[in-house]
Amino acid sequence: MKNNILEVKHLFVDYSVSKQKTDYVLRDLSLNIVEHEFLGLVGESGSGKSTLANTIAGFLEPVEGEIFFRRNSLQNLSFKEKIKTTNAGIQMVFQDPYDSFDPIMTIGEQLEEPLIIQDKLNKQNRKNKVFEMLHNIGLVEEYANRYPRQLSGGQLQRVAIGSALITEPDLLLADEPVSSLDVSVQAQVLDLLQDLRKKIGFACLFISHDLSVIQFLCDRIAVLNQGTIVEVGKVDEIFDNPQNPYTRQLIEDSEFLSI
Amino acid sequence: MTRYIVKKIIDMIITIFIIVLIVFAMFELIPGNPARIMLGMNASNAQVAALEAELGLDKSIFVKIYTYFSDLFNGDLGFSFRFQRPVIELITEALPYTLFLALYAFFFIIILAIPLAILAARKPNSKLDNFIRISSETCLAIPPFFMAIILMLIFRTSQLALQGGSVDFDLNNAFQSYWMPALAIALSRLAMAMEFLRDSIIEQRESDYVKTAIGKGASRSRVMFFHIFRNSLVPFITALGLILAEVFSGSIIIEQVFLIPGLGRSLVTAVEARDFQLTQGIVLLIAFIVVFVNFCVDLINQFIDPRIREQNKKLYKSRNTFFLRMKNQANLDSQKKR
């Protein structure tokens, strides 16, 4: 039996400024991800998918509920303490690859940065690791000296995934990483994630509104509607026998669009 | 990079050439006879004619342009009738005061603007942010000479002002004597620099790459100085270039208040005395400084931001492709004719 890497319990997240008036984006949300598992999170725009990822990553504070990472509670910890507790074991990949990189740093510098922060390797070993990761994500060594604007969207998203995985985290939060890419490039990025999963071994919360992507990549699927998980289960089970009307509607819409 | 620098130097030379032409034309277009204006209404016609001959005012416009440019090329800016000395000598004497005052003010702007912008950007629209912005905007609304008077009243002294003008220029003394006029200029120009940097920091902080860096475990200071601040530098440096130019013009009035024998004071004296050659020389020099500052800003931006380097590379590439196409088209046309 595999251990839970992430457990989210009864999470409430609210964006409203006023203390009297609450408008929950996430309400009573609970889910778990076990080691090396890929959990797909689907839901329409505004259902709270990115909010959940940002809350798990520590960019947003929940109003109520708890998040456990490797059985350690992340509640009431400052961002610095969270990073220390998780040992930077939660990494995130964003939707827009162009905005995910510091425009004035080279690709090599950006891949090396997490290793510098961790301070576990010397300069030569860091350099070797950067080249190894470039190789893993299908780019040649010369790309280390290029700047983000000199790469295509697909190449940048591969680098973003490489940069997130270079420190070998336990959990990757992928917030719609392929939705801004065209279909052929999407397939390359999804193949890369599959490859790296086999090579490195990590769990992933993969957010998407595209059910076919989730079906291809994930082990389980969680359906989010208006801030609440309405259905969760193995991908095949959900696709073959959806229980919730909202899930059925999502699957029907996705089948209609793919015709 | 070398090509870019060469291009920028050529641009600078063209700009300076145009400025020289404008300054020349400006003094040519002044209504009335400059020799008469300089000598006053009581001067005899013979005296006016003699001065006209001496200044070369009786010659044709082309001869005058040629003489003006060749003299300028040889470092001859003319002769001051008010001071009875070559203009270049007077400018060389006055320049260190103005240069020091402007750079000192610029130093104040930088050391005040950076921490204030970082503090204000920490929580946009907070009480601290509003306080910093309102204070700096109030300073912006106060003209530098009035700011100087306020500072004098606050520090209850005019001694420093007199000291600034009466002593020979030496660096050790200057730091002590010039802090007040430099601060007066700096406070009036601070808001622009501070707000440019504040807005830029706020904009950069919202970017996903900052979130990525935070998620990687980067410390707050690393995120601020290594990522946000470095990316905010381009608009800030561009603003600083404009401000430095304004600081030079701001020092003209301040030098009057504090009796500093710099370019500004010389300029006012020259205008009052209708000393055209000295006025022309100082106006040209200030224009040169502004052009040179802009040249430096372009180079620094090019150096720190790869996006600008890449943009310029693309521009050259597209230009080269365009010229190549034109050349090929011309070859094809000539072949067809044959």
**How far apart (Å, rounded) are the C-alpha atoms in residues B34 and B55?**
10
Q: Which residues of B touch A91 (CB under 8 A)?
A: 215-216
Q: What are the beta bridge partners of residue B54?
A: none
**What pLDDT sits at residue B10?**
92
**CB contact burial B283-312 (16+ within 10 A = b; e otherwise):** bbbbbebbbebbbebbebbbeebbebbeeb
**Which residue ranges of chain A lie beneath pLDDT 50?**
none
Q: Which tokens belong to B274?
A: 């209708």
Q: Does B213 contact A113 at a Cβ distance shorter than 8 Å?
A: yes
For B52-111, give the DSSP string: HHHHTTTS-HHHHHHHHHHHHHTT---EETTTTEEHHHHHHHHHHHHHHHHHHHHHHHHH
Residues A250/A211, Cβ–Cβ less than 8 Å:
yes
Q: What is the structure's pLDDT at B80?
A: 84
Residues in chain A: 259
Residue of chain A with shortest Cα separation from B220: A80
pLDDT at A31: 93
pLDDT of the residue at A99: 85
The tokens describing A228, both together, are 């609440």
How far is it, in rounded angstroms, from Cα B136 to Cα A161? 44
Q: Please check whether residue A116 touches B, CB under 8 A.
A: no
Angle at Cα A122 formed by Cα A116 and Cα A124, nearest 5°? 105
Round to whole Å and give the CA distance between A231 and A42.
10
Specify the CATH number for the domain of residue A85: 3.40.50.300
Report the number of distinct structural domains present in chain A: 1
Residue type, B148: A
In this complex, do B216 and A101 lie within 8 Å of one another by their Cβ atoms?
no
Chain B residues touching A102 at Cβ < 8 A:
209, 213, 227, 231
Q: Is-contact A36 A203, C-beta < 8 A?
A: yes
Rounded Cα distance between A166 and A160, Å, is 10
Mutation for testing the B interface, residue in A91, A98, A104, A175 having most B CBs under 10 Å? A104
In whole angstroms, what is the distance from residue A99 CA to residue B231 CA?
13
A38 contacts chain B (CB < 8 A): no
Buried b (16+ CB within 10 A) or exposed e, A92-116: bbbbbbbbbbbbbbbbbebbbbbbe
- Tell me if A154 sits within 8 A of A185, measured CB to CB: yes
Q: Please give the single-letter amino acid code of residue A98.
A: Y
pLDDT of residue B167: 41
CB A221 within 8 A of CB A235: yes
Dihedral-angle region of residue B130 (phi above 0 means left; psi in -120 to 50 means alpha; beta otherwise)? alpha
Q: Write out the two tokens for B204.
A: 């950069």
Q: Are A108 and A131 in contact (CB under 8 A)?
A: no
Tell me how crowded residue B322 is: count the other CB atoms within 10 A of its CB. 10
**CB spacing of B216 vs A96 below 8 angstroms:** no
A251: closest CA of chain B, how far (Å): 31
Walk along chain B (338 residues) and give the pLDDT tens digit of each residue. Answer: 778 888 889 999 999 989 988 888 887 777 777 777 777 777 888 888 888 787 777 788 888 888 888 888 888 888 887 788 899 999 998 898 888 989 999 999 999 999 999 999 988 889 999 999 999 889 888 888 888 888 888 876 655 544 544 445 566 677 877 888 889 899 988 988 999 999 999 999 888 889 888 888 888 889 998 999 988 988 888 888 888 888 887 777 888 888 888 888 888 888 887 788 888 899 889 888 889 988 998 888 888 888 777 776 666 566 556 556 666 666 666 666 65
Output the pLDDT for position B320: 59
Are B243 and B192 a contacting pair, CB within 8 Å?
yes
Q: What angle do CA A183, A188, A191 make, to 5 degrees?
A: 120
> Is there a contact between A28 and A66 (Cβ–Cβ < 8 Å)?
no
Q: State the ipTM, two decimals.
A: 0.79
With tokens 């430099």, the residue in question is B182
What pLDDT does residue B2 have? 78
Q: What is the pLDDT of residue B166?
A: 45
Which pTM value belongs to this model? Answer: 0.74
| Buried b or exposed e, range A185-202, using 16+ CB within 10 angstroms | bbebbbebbeebbeeeeb
Which two tokens mark A125? 């070993």
Give pLDDT, residue B165.
45
Please give the residue range of the domain that contains residue A146. Answer: 4-257
Instruction: Centre a 10 Å sphere on the Cβ of residue B259 and count the other Cβ atoms it contains.
Output: 15
- In the stretch 75-104 of chain A, residues with CB closer than 8 A to chain B read 79-80, 83, 88, 90-92, 94, 96, 99-104
CB atoms within 10 A of CB B329: 10
- Residues B27, B240: Cα–Cα separation, whole Å: 31
Chain B residues with CB under 8 Å of A144 CB are none
Q: Which two tokens stand for residue A259?
A: 């015709």
CB A170 within 8 A of CB A89: yes
Q: Which residues from B are below 8 Å from A88, CB to CB?
A: 215-217
Handedness of CA B229, B232, B233, B239 (dihedral sign): negative
Buried b / exposed e over A15-38, threshold 16 CB at 10 Å, is: eeeeeeeeebbbbebebbbbebbb
Could A147 and B306 be called an inter-chain contact, meaning their C-beta atoms sit closer than 8 Å? yes
B38-47, Cβ contacts within 8 angstroms, sequence gap of 24 or more: B38/B81, B38/B274, B38/B275, B38/B276
- At B313 the pLDDT is 65
Six token digits for residue A104: 């004035």
**Contacts with B60 (C-beta within 8 Å, 6 or more apart), sequence order:** none
For residue B17, the tally of other CB atoms under 10 A from its CB is 11
